[in-house]
Amino acid sequence: MKKIVTILGARPQFVKAAVLSRVIQNYQEIEEVIVHTGQHFDANMSEVFFTEMDIPKPTYNLAINSLGHGAMTGQMLEKIEQILLDEQPDAVVIYGDTNSTIAGALAAKKLHIKVVHIEAGLRSFNMQMPEEINRILTDRISDLLCCPTDTAIKNLHNEGFDNLPITIEKNGDIMKDAVLYYGKTSAEKSSIIADLKLKENEFVLATIHRQENTDDKATLSSIFSALEKIHQEKEVVLPLHPRTKKMLEKFNLKPAITLITPIGYFDMLELLQHCNLVVTDSGGLQKEAFFNKKHCVIAREETEWVELVNNGFATIVGSDTQKIIQSFQDFQDTNADFSQNLYGNDVGENIYQSINHLIN
């Protein structure tokens, strides 16, 4: 039986990997060994997380976190290399753009093990982002690039990937499968709507966590000023990221919105399904908003998911108070065709077949 090692480091990666793991288990043709680097660890990555979400528990947990980029990536590289030497897989599968992603790719490539990059070809064109560096380098040393969109394919074409011995395929966005699968049962797993006494379509879901937004007082103040203004019309609910909480306290900012503690995936799905719209600087949440038929106000200067903006489902506003408020107001009067298929169907199955072809 063929074997793959899947390298994961952040909660969203586990959710996406669960989609592929279910397909692998259905076929019973490939053995999967899961490695959790420990890059992102919180209460939502406990035993309950894996049990409730029917996610395979990691074979290895490296517990590497709370370090600088160099130390974290270096330690991951060293430990992953030893695991690969012990396991001798036919391929290593990695997701997205974290330090775990690039560490897994480097360890595999130097041992001449095939590398599969899921969510390949994404670009923000902002080299100040650590994620941009990770995804560019990972794409370059991969053997199979599983791209979610035509834009991702175009990015690789523009960078000359057609001239490299790398297989490039458009498989769709695996997060879509995850949202559809878990969205069917989120109401059974979460009571957050009742707990917060929220009304259907009468609240805005917001998340702010990126360093460029949190670490500058003027920028953070500008974003939260907009959220406070929106809150006067529709309640703004914001799960507070630890970094954002720390900086709000440092700058002595006390925004008059509904701040809640970090939440699990089912709670997030429930908020997405019942909110009016989303304001976020998260990449993944932009798409999850679309999958739940919600408009999105992007508090960044760029997005990897340009098709959302090009088709009118999202706007890019940066940290500008007035732009955030205006976009919120504009979307109140906007009807969009969320039935557009921007991200494919049966994505887990498509990726499985691509991997199976690569290693057989």
Residue 181 is assigned to a structural domain of this protein: no
CATH code, 198: 3.40.50.2000
178 lies in some domain: no
- Residue 114 shares a structural domain with residue 232: no
Q: Are residues 157 and 207 in the same domain?
A: no
Say whether both 168 and 230 belong to one domain: no
Mean pLDDT of the chain, nearest integer: 95
Q: What is the pLDDT of residue 11?
A: 87
pLDDT of residue 190 exceeding 70, the answer is: yes
Residues 148 and 195 in one domain: no
State whether 193 and 167 are in the same domain.
no
For 244, the domain range is: 186-332
Residue 42: pLDDT band (50, 70, 90) is: low
Q: Which residues are annotated as catalytic?
A: 209
Report in angstroms the alpha-carbon separations of 282 from 91, 205, 287, 348: 29, 12, 9, 23
Number of domains in the chain: 2
Contact 114, 108 (CB under 8 A): yes
pLDDT of residue 198: 98
Sign, Cα dihedral of 96, 158, 353, 91: negative
Would the CA dihedral through 120, 124, 125, 129 be positive or negative? negative
207 and 282 both lie in a single domain = yes
Residues 257-276: pLDDT tens digits? 999 999 989 999 999 999 99
Give the C-alpha separation, 324 to 313, whole Å. Answer: 15
Is 202 found in the same domain as 152? no
pLDDT digits (tens, 9 = 90+) for 104-159: 999 999 999 999 999 999 999 999 999 999 999 999 999 999 999 999 999 999 99
